[in-house]
Amino acid sequence: MKQSILIIALIIIFNLPKFAFAQRDSSATGINIKVNPFQWYYDDIRVFAEYPLSKNNSLQLRLGYRDYRINPYDQKYNDRDQIYRDPVTDQYDTALYSAVGFSLGLAYNHYDRNNWYIQPSFLFRHTSFSFGWDDNWNNWVLQWLTYDTTSEGADISDFIKNIYALEFRYGKVFIFNRFILDLFTGAGVRLRYGRIIPGSGYGITHDQVFYHSTEYEVTPTLHLGLNIGWIIKK
């Protein structure tokens, strides 16, 4: 549903009359701050800061923060808490889900006429999961495309998840006065690294998230979205 709405929005916006936005021969967007208005719903709060190097080139810093307490997607795990007997204290305790992390990325933008651009980028993400589930490790987009929901909620562990990503995006920036609408699509590849935190069995008879204490996986990624922002200095 979200993907369909986004595709429709992109089609409409790309066919808006040209006079509705200020078009320029090259970037000339100056120093600007952008956010992804949808990313926070299922992932992290993401902020972009772009600084021009020349008329057609700029650097873009990406910062993100994820916290299960403010992420609506994480709320589905709130009712999966379980009571277990702690073998260390010999007392009953409650296992509660949490996910906290950050992301840091750097991108290079090269602009062509009318603010079309290409963007190679690198991204690092770190997330710590307590009472994490197997679908916290799996790529939810691939699960959705393959209808793979059979293992969801089958595995429980405390683990960390790191992502190292290379991405290539192609997009267009629309400018109205100082307001920015940045539409993009692209593809990339990600190396995911996960490590079980020792002593996180919870005394529950479930398998762990990974087959081993550490796990590596390389996956392709597709990107389609929009950012909105404001020009601080032209």
Domain residue limits, the chain = 2-233
pLDDT of 13 over the 50 cut: no
**What's the token pair of residue 49?**
């800061």
Enumerate residues 6+ apart whose C-beta is below 8 A from 178.
230, 231, 234
C-alpha 1 chain-centroid distance: 18
pLDDT (tens digit per residue) in 83-138:
776 666 777 777 788 899 999 999 999 999 889 999 999 999 999 988 877 777 76
pLDDT of residue 186: 97
Q: What percent of the chain lies above the pLDDT cut of 70?
A: 71
Tens digit of pLDDT for each residue in 176-208? 989 999 999 999 999 999 888 776 555 544 455
Place of tokens 């993400």: 125
pLDDT class for 59, splitting at 50, 70, 90?
very high
Output 142-145 pairs: Cβ under 8 A, ≥24 positions apart.
142/219
Q: With 70 as the cut, is the pLDDT of residue 5 above it?
A: no
**Average pLDDT score over the chain:** 79
Of 193, 135, 143, residue with least CA distance to 163: 193
pTM: 0.77
pLDDT of residue 201: 56
Tell me, what's the pLDDT at 151?
A: 45
DSSP class per residue in the chain: -HHHHHHHHHHHHHTS-GGGSB--SS----EEEEE-TTHHHHS-EEEEEEEESSSSEEEEEEEEEEETTT-GGGGGGGGG-EEEEETTTTEEEEE--EEEEEEEEEEEEEE-GGGEEEEEEEEEEEEEEEEEEHHHHS-HHHHHHTT--TTTTSBEEEEEEEEEEEEEEEEEEEEETTEEEEEEEEEEEEEEEEEEPSS--TT---B-SSSSSEEEEEEEEEEEEEEEEEEEE-
Banded pLDDT at 23 (limits 50, 70, 90) = very low
State the average pLDDT over residues 22-30.
53
Alpha carbon distances (Å) from 86 to 78, 81, 91, 208: 20, 15, 5, 17
Record the tokens describing residue 76, joined without a space.
Answer: 């589905």
What is the pLDDT, as a whole number, of residue 12? 46
Q: Which pLDDT value is given to residue 205?
A: 43
The per-residue pLDDT for 78 is 77
Q: Return the higher-pLDDT residue of 35 and 203.
A: 35
